[in-house]
């Protein structure tokens, strides 16, 4: 049992969100599978309230669909829809980071700390922790561009992603490569290297796209 005793209600909700999101994004929980509020609450050793709130939040993000009196179903995404997500994420996140590089990053310490969290998760082999830390890093980085609406749009695209194959041998290597890329992105932002940061974030994002397609091909 994954007991989360001692945490506040909001913290419990976020932990449930992180766990379920990681299961969906990584493909551990397949499209069409159903999460039961009482069942998940029992499994995680918490009350039903934070679980229900977490699943409703993931419904708002588009990862789940609420079914009356039946739980929450994992929303499937077509290959074409995933391709569109990668296209839009690269477009917007590249624009955000090129904007940041033009402005220049003055204080890298908070971003380095986020990158350290990603590195620690990879070292521990903890995929859910990696996904949570990676999301936090990218949100903090994009936010430095100073456009809250752009940050919101980028994060919504990230939350809709699927990274099937992330736990494969290739996926583990991609995680390791991403660690150094995060520090490089911060370096380029500090150096105001617009071309380099744009090229790197495109490679950083599209590397996951190749991994996803390989995983789908293996399943097919």
Query: In angstroms, what CA-CA distances link 32 with 27, 74, 99?
Result: 11, 5, 39
Domain boundaries, the chain: 9-74, 79-219
Q: Which residues have CB under 8 Å from 142's CB, separation 6+? A: 93, 96, 97, 100, 150, 151, 154, 155
Q: Is the Cβ–Cβ distance between 158 and 142 less than 8 Å? A: no
Domains 9-74 and 79-219 belong to one CATH topology:
no
* Fold designation for 9-74: Arc Repressor Mutant, subunit A (1.10.10)
User: Per-residue pLDDT for the chain (220 aa), expressed as one digit of tens each?
Assistant: 343 434 455 688 988 998 998 898 888 898 899 999 999 999 999 999 999 999 999 999 888 999 988 899 998 888 888 889 999 999 999 999 999 999 999 999 999 999 999 999 999 999 989 999 999 999 999 999 999 999 999 998 988 888 888 888 888 999 999 999 999 999 999 999 999 999 999 999 998 888 887 777 665 5
Look-up of token digits 């379920």: 20
Distance CA(73)–CA(36), nearest Å, equals 9
Q: Which residues have CB under 8 Å from 202's CB, separation 6+? A: 90, 94
Q: Is the Cβ–Cβ distance between 199 and 152 less than 8 Å? A: no
Sheet holding 71-74, edge to edge: 34-35, 71-74, 64-67
Is the pTM higher than 0.85? Answer: no
Neighbours of 176 (CB within 10 A): 12
What CATH architecture is 79-219? Up-down Bundle (1.20)
């Amino acid at each position: 049992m994954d007991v989360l005793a001692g945490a506040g209600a909001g913290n419990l909700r976020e932990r449930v969100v992180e766990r379920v999101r990681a299961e969906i994004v990584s493909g551990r929980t397949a499209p069409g599978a159903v999460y039961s509020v009482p069942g998940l609450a029992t499994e995680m050793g918490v009350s039903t309230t934070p679980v229900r709130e977490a699943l409703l939040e993931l419904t708002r993000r588009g990862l789940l669909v609420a079914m009356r009196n039946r739980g929450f179903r994992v929303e499937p995404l077509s290959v074409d829809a995933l391709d569109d997500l990668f296209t839009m994420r690269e477009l917007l996140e590249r624009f955000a980071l090129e904007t940041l590089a033009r402005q220049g990053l003055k204080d890298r310490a908070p971003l380095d700390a986020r990158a350290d969290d990603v590195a620690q998760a990879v070292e521990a082999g903890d995929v859910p922790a990696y996904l949570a830390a990676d999301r936090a890093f990218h949100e903090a980085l994009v936010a430095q561009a100073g456009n809250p609406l752009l940050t919101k749009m980028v994060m919504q695209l990230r939350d809709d992603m699927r990274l099937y194959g992330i736990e494969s041998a290739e996926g583990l290597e991609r995680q390791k490569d991403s660690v150094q890329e995060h520090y490089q992105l911060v370096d380029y932002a500090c150096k105001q290297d617009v071309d380099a940061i744009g090229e790197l974030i495109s490679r950083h994002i599209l590397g996951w796209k190749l991994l996803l397609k390989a995983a789908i091909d293996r399943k097919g």
